[in-house]
Amino acid sequence: MQQVRRAYTGGMSEFAVNVNPGTLILGFESSCDETGVALVALSAGGAPPRLLAHALHSQIDMHQAYGGVVPELASRDHIRRVVPLTRQVMLEAGRSLNEVDVIAYTRGPGLAGALLVGAGMACALGTALGKPLLGVHHLEGHLLSPFLSADPPEFPFVALLVSGGHTQLMRVDGVGRYEMLGETVDDAAGEAFDKSAKLMGLPYPGGPHLARLAMGGRSDAFELPRPMLHSGNLDFSFAGLKTAVRTHLVRMGLLDQAAQLAAPETQATLADLAASTQAAIVEVLVKKSLVALKQTGLKRVVVAGGVGANRLLREQLDRACERRGIRVHYPEMHLCTDNGAMIALAAAMRLQSGQAVLQHEPVFDVKPRWDLSQAT
């Protein structure tokens, strides 16, 4: 039986957590506008941890009226949801809180107030139950989330982490062993989807609406830039693409014209613009990923983050990688967005690899800004 021994923070005496099959990790995610709770168990033989139960509440409907996430409302809703979701998870798993071995939570990055809700819940439970705590990097959760899929990857691999807040390419050699290959210098890919959709008058969150509208359009109807496609490095830029979409709408007299944007006669044009926008974003993501694979010599790529659910991205990346003999791995569709399962998983894999820095005292040390390279 392997044991992980870590000193308590705050000068407390040392304790040991048994790391063996069946060790339970309860995870909380509250970095933005989803409240997620999950319970995972360590597996035998070094296999990926098993997801026993998870529950998720999305705040999309609440924020839709404002066209984006309102931080104060997000925090209040996390407070309202986190306890019922925890009860639901423990009931579905058929376990009690006393059986939990480690309590994990998203430490950052994210909205400060929202992060504090998850950290507060974890600290309260840790204090009441005498359980150690483990703060998890939100992006590490996304990065490792495909290990919960039916087709989990193996190290090493190239990771394309693509969401509303981040667009990064990394070489991943193991848990905690991440090398940044390239990242966005301005807007993230998901942000480009959402902002372009908003310009077209589509509801929040715009990315999925734009993708659905694009299904009825022509991807070559509008000429749009592929920013930094030939930059010679693996960095991204999507701010210029959003500006180009805005320029086309200005030329057509549709910018900020809600009635015209909603008119039936305009929908075919908007579908073409949506399809052209999506094609530009996806082309850059796919081609940069292929360059990263070529440069590293690796034959496996993992796609994680909310944009990883995009159908066109999956189709084009799958096709390109199949021709090159490269394996592609994705999270399950329901685990592409923020969720508690990925946080519990990341904590569990840290435990398995002996890299879990556990704490006992309830320290509210959330990090709204936190580079993944600084996560230890």
Distance CA 361, CA 317 (A): 45
Which CATH number characterizes residue 162's domain? 3.30.420.40
Instruction: List the structure tokens of 29.
Output: 């995610």
Residues 142 and 97 in one domain: yes
Sole residue written with tokens 């925090």: 75
- Could you report the per-residue pLDDT of 86-104, keeping only the tens digit for each? 999 999 999 999 999 999 9
When pLDDT is cut at 50, 70 and 90, the band that residue 17 belongs to is confident
- Could you report the per-residue pLDDT of 215-258, keeping only the tens digit for each? 999 999 999 999 999 999 999 999 999 999 999 999 999 999 99
Domain holding 41, by residue range, is 2-147+336-374
Residue 210 lies in a domain: yes
Q: Is the pLDDT of residue 43 over 90?
A: yes
Residues 140 and 207 in one domain: no
Residues 253 and 137 in one domain: no
Residue 79 lies in a domain: yes
Residue 82 lies in a domain: yes
Distance CA 74, CA 62 (A): 9
Reported as type and span, the H/E element at residue 3 is: strand 2-7
Q: What is the pLDDT of residue 373?
A: 80
Residues 175 and 221 in one domain: yes
Residue 116 lies in a domain: yes
DSSP bridge partners of 19: 2
Residues 217 and 288 in one domain: yes
Distance CA 79, CA 66 (A): 20
Other Cβ atoms less than 10 A from the Cβ of 70: the count is 17
Which residue, among 336, 221, 235, has the nearest Cα to 280 in the 3D structure?
A: 221
Phi and psi (nearest 5°) for 23?
A: -55, 130
Residue 153 lies in a domain: no
Residues 188 and 322 in one domain: yes
Residues 293 and 185 in one domain: yes
Q: Write down the pTM of the prediction.
A: 0.92
Number of domains in the chain: 2
Which residue, among 34, 7, 14, 46, has the nearest Cα to 348 in the 3D structure?
A: 46
Residue 152 lies in a domain: no
The pairing of strands 300-304 and 157-162 is: parallel
Q: Is the pLDDT of residue 376 over 80?
A: no
Residue 239 lies in a domain: yes
Residue 188 lies in a domain: yes
Instruction: List the structure tokens of 375.
Output: 């996560």
Residues 317 and 181 in one domain: yes
Residues 71 and 199 in one domain: no
Q: What is the pLDDT of residue 15?
A: 52
Residues 120 and 59 in one domain: yes
For the stretch 229-248, what's the b/e string if a residue is b when 16 or more beta carbons lie within 10 angstroms of its beta carbon? eeeeebbbbbebbbebbeeb
Distance CA 15, CA 359 (A): 10
